[in-house]
């Protein structure tokens, strides 16, 4: 079982404008423990404390949290993953997306901003960019 800081999670949910139910606390706590995870990875962890929760309930809670800006979404190899870090940042998709790692390098965003400002694409303004880099883990490196 993972450790839940229930008061911390309650506060996060309230700040996002969400009611702090036991199910929401458990789902957020599981994602917090995993960092990046699919519904399929989160459900067994949540069921340790809430054995009757359905996959649909976990999915709906995650979508509600993402819509509220509390968590982020990451599309990895055609599968929706959820990210405990909701702000714009980049990711390494390791070995076809089996693992997702945060990539926090301001130089990437500066390069993207310079590129788009030099191209002057009429009618559009860049609000942000999320970059996913597909990488392969090197053995014996």
Q: Tens of pLDDT along 107-120?
A: 887 888 888 888 87
Do 125 and 62 fall within a single domain?
no
Do 31 and 49 fall within a single domain?
yes
Range of the domain at 97: 90-135
Do 10 and 66 fall within a single domain?
yes
Residue 73 lies in a domain: yes
User: Does residue 1 contact residue 48 with C-beta atoms inside 8 Å?
Assistant: yes
pLDDT by 10s per residue, the chain, length 141? 566 799 999 999 999 999 999 999 999 999 999 988 999 999 999 999 999 999 999 999 999 999 999 999 987 777 888 999 887 778 788 887 677 887 888 888 788 888 888 887 778 777 777 778 888 888 876
Residues 6+ apart with CB under 8 A from 114: none
CA distances from 122 to 29, 107, 119, 126, 127 (A): 43, 25, 9, 11, 14
Residue 140 lies in a domain: no
User: According to the model, what pLDDT value does residue 61 have?
Assistant: 99
90 is in an annotated binding site: yes
Residue 66 lies in a domain: yes
Residue 1 lies in a domain: no
Residues 6+ apart with CB under 8 A from 103: 89, 90, 91, 92, 131, 133
């Amino acid at each position: 079982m993972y450790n839940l800081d229930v008061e911390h999670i309650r506060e996060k949910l309230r700040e996002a404008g969400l009611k702090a139910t036991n199910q929401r606390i458990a789902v957020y706590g599981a994602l917090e423990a995993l960092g990046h995870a699919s519904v399929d990875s989160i459900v067994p962890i949540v069921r340790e404390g809430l054995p009757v929760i359905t996959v649909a309930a976990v999915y709906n809670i995650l979508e509600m949290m993402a819509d509220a800006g509390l968590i982020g979404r990451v599309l990895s190899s055609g599968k929706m993953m959820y990210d405990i870090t909701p702000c714009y940042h980049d990711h390494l998709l390791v070995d076809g997306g089996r693992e997702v790692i945060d990539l926090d390098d301001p130089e990437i965003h500066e390069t993207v901003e310079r590129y788009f400002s030099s191209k002057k694409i009429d009618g559009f303004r860049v609000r942000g960019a999320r970059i996913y880099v597909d990488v392969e883990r090197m053995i014996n490196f």
